[in-house]
Amino acid sequence: MTEHQHGHGHSHGGASSTRVLILSLVFTTAFAGVEVLGGIWANSLALIADAGHMITDSLSLGIGAFAAWLSRRRASKRHTYGFARAETIGALVNTLFMLGVVVWIVVAALDRLTAPVEVGGVLVMVIAFIGLLVNVAVAWLLMRGENNMNVRAALLHVMGDLAGSVAALASGLVIYLTGWLLIDPLLSLFISVLIGIASINVLRDVLHVLMEGTPKDVDPTEITQALRGIDGVLGVHHLHVWSLSSSRHALSAEIEVEALEAWEVIMPRLQRVLGDRFDLHHCTLQPQTQRSRARAEPAISCQSFDP
């Protein structure tokens, strides 16, 4: 016997994410072409690196917007949990792409350390300052949107761009005042290291979700103790908690009870504890008696609730 309860709490957040990502995509794409041309004209690696970030930002925001839209699709026979994991996959693609950009910038910077080239300091400062304003606006939009893994990965790109704009601005100023050309690749290396560390942190969180690891904000031991404290529950066995997305978690467990006749009374209590205390609404609970567990009998029934 299966019970299902459905609500609409997730779709509105997905719609908000999609709007924010699309608006950010428009801002970023509009400036990306300008910065690419300016970086080539000024012969500045720091500016070209920042331009490269802007281009990858456009792609990452596009991927993010598509993933946010896809995650709002309803569950089907082939995808019984829906498409919530699209958010995680979008974050994975974006993070790996960002790491690839970081490697390219590091290689180019090391090459320029051995063979410095002339850089147009004034042009670099002007374009970098405009890019800084664009990146601040996009970062502000993303931070006001839904806080999920997909938006976080897109924000990582934009924050990398923001740091790149600061580095390019500083590079242009130093070159204009002192003529020291090595500042350009040195700042590019510094920013690449910072972005690389942030990318690896996001990648670690994404892989944790894909490997169905226990969510960071969920303690299985605490859940087990809370469920055991409910009247009529003798034990909790084979409890598993995993993430469907950064904001949606699922749980399955075997609940040992004295008699199956009491399950209809115990089930609502389990729902309240899991939903109200732990914000777990995608749960499958299997009732068993001590006798059925001792004999290793198959499941008598499974009940799920999914508001």
CB 184 within 8 A of CB 175: yes
pTM above 0.85, yes or no: no
Distance of CA 13 to the CA centre of its chain: 14
Mean pLDDT of 104-108: 84
Length of the chain, in residues = 307
CA distances for 197 relative to 40, 60, 161, 192, 203, angstroms: 27, 18, 15, 9, 10
Structure tokens at 277: 């205390």
pLDDT band at 299 (very low <50, low <70, confident <90, very high): very low
pLDDT over 90 (residue 202): no
Task: Write down the pLDDT at residue 48.
Answer: 66
One-letter amino acid for residue 136 of the chain: V
209-262 confidence digits (pLDDT tens): 888 888 888 899 999 999 999 999 999 999 999 987 766 788 999 999 988 888
Task: Write down the pLDDT at residue 237.
Answer: 92
The pLDDT mean for the chain works out to 76
The region of weakest confidence among 53-67, 112-126, 178-192 is 53-67
Domains and CATH numbers, the chain: 9-210 (1.20.1510.10), 220-305 (3.30.70.1350)
Q: Give the residue, 251 or 77, on which the prediction is more confident.
A: 251
8-57 confidence digits (pLDDT tens): 334 444 556 667 767 777 777 767 777 767 767 766 666 666 666 666 66
Structure tokens at 6: 């459905």
End-to-end CA distance of the chain: 17
Task: Write down the pLDDT at residue 224.
Answer: 94
Secondary structure in 3-state letters for the chain: CCCCCCCCHHHHHHHHHHHHHHHHHHHHHHHHHHHHHHHHHHCCHHHHHHHHHHHHHHHHHHHHHHHHHHHCCCCCCCCCCCCCCHHHHHHHHHHHHHHHHHHHHHHHHHHHHHCCCCCCHHHHHHHHHHHHHHHHHHHHHHHHCCCCHHHHHHHHHHHHHHHHHHHHHHHHHHHHHHCCCCHHHHHHHHHHHHHHHHHHHHHHHHHHHHCCCCCCCCCHHHHHHHHHCCCCEEEEEEEEEEECCCCCEEEEEEEEECCHHHHHHHHHHHHHHHHHHHCCCEEEEEEEEHHHHHCCCCCCCCEEECC
Percent of the residues in the chain that have a pLDDT greater than 90, as a whole number: 15
